[in-house]
Amino acid sequence: MAVANSARYQDFMLLYSLGLLFVLLVTAPYWLLHMLLHEKYRAGLAERMGRVPRRVTDVLRGRRAIWVHAVSVGELIAVSGVVQALQQAHPEMGLVISTTTRTGQRLARSRFGDACVFYFPLDFSWILRRYLRALRPVLLVLAETEMWPRLLHEAHRAGVGIVVINGRISDRSLPRYRWLRWLWCPFWSKLTRVLAQSEEDGQRFAAIGVPSDVIEVVGNLKYDVRAAQNMEITRRLRAALPANAKVLVAGSTLEGEESMLLDAFEHESRQTPGLVLILAPRHPERFDAVASLLERRNLPCARRSAWTKGNPKPLEPGSVFLLDSIGELASVYALATVAFVGGSLVSAGGHNPLEPAQFGVPIMMGPHTQNFRGVMEALMMDNAVAVAMPENLAQTLHDLLTSPHAAEMGQRAYTVFEQQAGATEQTLAVLESLLQAKESFTVQRSKTR
C-alpha cells in the first residue's frame, strides 16, 4: 500500500509540473504582451525564474536563513511583527522575505531593506532547488494559505521545517481543497505546523486533510498590527482639513466601488457641510483611472503624490483627497469620522476592518466580507460595524455621521481589537520551539559524525 501511495504521489508530482508548464506555455503570448506594455509584469521576472539575487546571498554571508513568504501587502503587514521579532532574536541567522506582488515587494523593501527581499519563485523543482541551496533555510514560514505543492515537496525534501502562520481557509477555497483532498493529503504531511487564525479555520484545515496534531489555533496576527498615528502624511492632512470637518476615509477600494462611494459622498455633502473624502484605491495601477473618474465628476480633488510637493494647500469642504500611495492608509484611518473598508461592496471578500478599529472609528463595510470572517463575526457580535448594501450606502453613511451613538460603536470596535490581540506572541513561541528543536537536532547529528 505504501509503495502504491508513493507511486501515485510521484505520478501526481510529474503531472502537476507538466500541467503547470503547459499552462505557462499556453498563456505565454498573454504574458509577453503584457510585459511589453506594462512594467509591473516584468518586475522580478529573473528572480521568479530562478535567479537568486546576489544581494540576498550577500546579506546571508553563509548563515542559515529563515525564509518568510507573504503574497502581498495585507499578508506582509500582518506578519511584520513576527519578522521584526525574529530578526532581533536571531541575529545569527539571516531573515529573508519573498512576496508575489509588486506592491508587496515595495512595502517589504521599505520596511526591511532591499537586501533581504525578493520575488517568490515559480513552483518548479529546478527553480526551487536553486533557492533552497542558496538560502539554506532552517524554517520556511508561509503566511495564510501559500501552500504550493512543489514548494512543500522540495522544502521537506531539503529538511526544512514548514510552518503556516496566520493560517486560514477561505469560503472559496474550502470546496476545492475538499474535492481534491485525496491529492492534497500527501502534501499536508510535509507541514511541520499550521497556526490557524480561528477555531473554524483550524477545523477547516482538519477537514481538508491536514493532520490534526500539527494544527494549533493561536489567533489572527492582524489584531496585533498597530499603525503609526503620526506619520507625516497624517500630520499634514490633519493640518489641512477644514475647521470642524467630518472625514470619510474609504480605504482599499476596488473597481466599481469608487462610483458607489462618490454617489453617496456627493449626496451626503449636500447635507453635511465640511465633509471631506479621503479615497485610497487598493491597487496602484488604478490610481490614474480613479483620478480620471474624479475629474469627470468635476469634484475638487488633490492627489497625495502632487499635493505633498511644495506647500500643500488646505482641503476644501466637499473635496476628495486621493491617497495614491502604499503603506500610509492605516495611519490615515486615524483622521476618519467614519471609515469604509473596501473590497466589500463588490464580490471580492473584503479587506481588513481592524485598521480603522484600532483608532476607535465607526466602520462601514459592504456585504462581501468572507476574507475576514472571524474578524467580522467578532465585530458584529458586539455591534461594532455597520454592514451596508449598495442601495442603502448613502443612508448608512448619513446615519454614522449624524448618530450620537456612532462614537460608541467605534469604541466597541477598538475594544474588540484590543481583546483579540496576542497572536504574535503565541506564533513566536511556536517558531522559537521549532528553531530550538532544529538547533538541537543539528548539534546531535554533528556529535555522531
Is 4 among the domain residues?
Answer: no
Look up residue 290 and give its DSSP letter. H
Choosing from 39, 47, 75, 144, the catalytic residue is: 75
Look up residue 282 and give its DSSP letter. S
Count CB atoms within 10 A of the CB of residue 389. Answer: 11
Q: What is the pLDDT of residues 366-407, one digit of tens each?
A: 999 999 988 999 999 999 999 999 999 999 999 999 999 999
Query: Which pLDDT value is given to residue 34?
Result: 64
Is 164 among the domain residues?
Answer: yes
Q: What is the pLDDT of residues 261-315, one digit of tens each?
A: 999 999 999 999 899 999 999 999 999 999 999 999 999 999 999 998 878 889 9
Count of domains in the chain? 2
Q: Which long-range contacts (CB under 8 A, 24 or more apart) does 40-46 make?
A: 40/102, 40/285, 43/102, 43/105, 43/119, 44/102, 44/105, 44/118, 44/119
In a shared domain, residues 253 and 191: no
Q: What is the pTM of this model?
A: 0.87
In a shared domain, residues 298 and 310: yes
In a shared domain, residues 75 and 174: yes
With beta carbons less than 8 A apart as the criterion, state whether 237 and 326 touch: no
In a shared domain, residues 147 and 250: no
Chain centroid, CA 255 distance in Å: 19
Is 7 among the domain residues?
Answer: no
Q: Which helix (H) or strand (E) holds 143?
A: strand 137-143
Residue 145 CA to residue 100 CA, distance in Å, equals 13
- Known active-site residue 316: no
pLDDT band for 224, please (50, 70, 90 cuts): very high
Please give the residue range of the domain that contains residue 240.
232-419
In a shared domain, residues 189 and 247: no
Q: What is the pLDDT of residues 51-92, one digit of tens each?
A: 999 999 999 998 999 999 999 999 999 999 999 999 999 999
Read off the pLDDT of each residue in 415-424 and give the average, rounded to a whole number: 94
Judge whether residue 440 has pLDDT over 80: no
pLDDT band for 25, please (50, 70, 90 cuts): confident
In a shared domain, residues 111 and 177: yes
Residue ranges in 38-124 assigned as alpha helix (H): 39-42, 45-48, 54-60, 73-89, 102-112
Residue 240 CA to residue 246 CA, distance in Å, equals 13
In a shared domain, residues 307 and 203: no
User: 217 forms bridges with which residues in the sheet?
Assistant: 196
pLDDT band for 6, please (50, 70, 90 cuts): low
Supply the CATH number for residue 206's domain: 3.40.50.11720
In a shared domain, residues 180 and 73: yes
Work out the burial of residue 259: count CB atoms within 10 Å of its CB; fewer than 13 is exposed, 13-18 middle, 19 or more buried: middle
Of 130, 188, 185, nearest to 156 by C-alpha is: 188
Read off the pLDDT of each residue in 239-258 and give the average, rounded to a whole number: 96
Judge whether residue 435 has pLDDT over 90: yes
- Give CA separation, 132 vs 61, 136, 434, in Å: 15, 5, 19
In a shared domain, residues 336 and 288: yes
Residue 282 CA to residue 165 CA, distance in Å, equals 24
2-37 vs 149-157: helix crossing angle, rounded to 10: 120
In a shared domain, residues 105 and 144: yes
Judged by DSSP in three states, 69 sits in: strand
User: 117 forms bridges with which residues in the sheet?
Assistant: 97
In a shared domain, residues 193 and 268: no
CA angle 168, 178, 7 (to 5 degrees): 110
Q: For residue 309, which phi and psi values (nearest 5 degrees)?
A: -85, 130
